Structure 1
């Protein structure tokens, strides 16, 4: 499914629901949540729990992690990491030992790249000082 450029979780859910050609009531029934509650989420009036987002994602057949990122529960890098790990662990063509070795290599590359990366900006947009344990 193509990535949509929408502003927030509610807009994104509405677009995904419409793409799946589901009414609000159909999605609410499939996700096991009330119709009014789902409507409030789509309108940005309610912030759903991770559990509710997981149920909605399953009903829409999309990644729960994507919804977690949209809701601010998970950041984009964490989502990418989780998805990569899930793909590796789900691959039936490699055995468990090979999966574990591959995950160890993956982790070592991520740690190496994080060490080489410039400091991330803080909330004010200024780079964090690595010598300052308080982060600013």
Structure 2
């Protein structure tokens, strides 16, 4: 079989679809992809783009970053960092200034521990609101 090493992604998607109690057809309609294409993804025969994964994540109400990790587009550490930033940015109980201070502290600890990101924007992470607009590096 011509697997593209996306079997884990396909199995994970199938599991998430079943947990959401959606048929293949229902998910394909909700995500705006064809039923046969979604079936091929679930069977590990097709590797979806980041955009398709984003649509599937939205339809399943799960984190797109989790799907990026499953597809091998993003490593686990990057996903955890994005989710942490997303939680901080989405918290309605703190104001924007407090969010930026928290993100700066978080980034300084990551750098201190040797985990800082190369693409840090001077501590200004306002462009990653909620963590859902993040696009993984293209491979």
User: What count of residue pairs does the alignment treat as equivalent?
Assistant: 109
State the match for 1:130 in structure 2: none
Q: Looking at CA atoms only, which structure, 1 or 2, has the larger radius of gyration?
A: 1
State the match for 2:106 in structure 1: 106
State the match for 2:23 in structure 1: 23
Structure with more contact order per residue of length (Cα contacts < 8 Å, sep ≥ 6): 2
Looking at structure 2, the residues matched to 105 and 8 of structure 1 have their Cα atoms a distance apart, in angstroms, of 35
Looking at structure 1, the residues matched to 104 and 12 of structure 2 have their Cα atoms a distance apart, in angstroms, of 34
Question: 1:29 offset after TM fit, Å?
Answer: 0.3
Question: 1:14 offset after TM fit, Å?
Answer: 0.5
Looking at structure 2, the residues matched to 96 and 18 of structure 1 have their Cα atoms a distance apart, in angstroms, of 38
Question: CA offsets, 1:55-100, max 9 Å, x none?
Answer: 0011111110000000011100100011110110111111111111
Question: 1:49 offset after TM fit, Å?
Answer: 0.4
Looking at structure 2, the residues matched to 60 and 99 of structure 1 have their Cα atoms a distance apart, in angstroms, of 28
Looking at structure 1, the residues matched to 97 and 16 of structure 2 have their Cα atoms a distance apart, in angstroms, of 38
State the match for 2:77 in structure 1: 77
Looking at structure 1, the residues matched to 111 and 64 of structure 2 have their Cα atoms a distance apart, in angstroms, of 25
Looking at structure 2, the residues matched to 113 and 37 of structure 1 have their Cα atoms a distance apart, in angstroms, of 43
Question: CA offsets, 1:95-116, max 9 Å, x none?
Answer: 111111110000011111127x
1:1-136 maps to which residues of 2 (within 5 A)? 8-114=8-114
TM-score, normalisation: structure 1: 0.78
State the match for 2:130 in structure 1: none
Secondary structure at 1:36's aligned position in 2?
Answer: helix
Q: Return 5+ residue gaps in structure 1 as ranges.
A: 1-6, 116-136
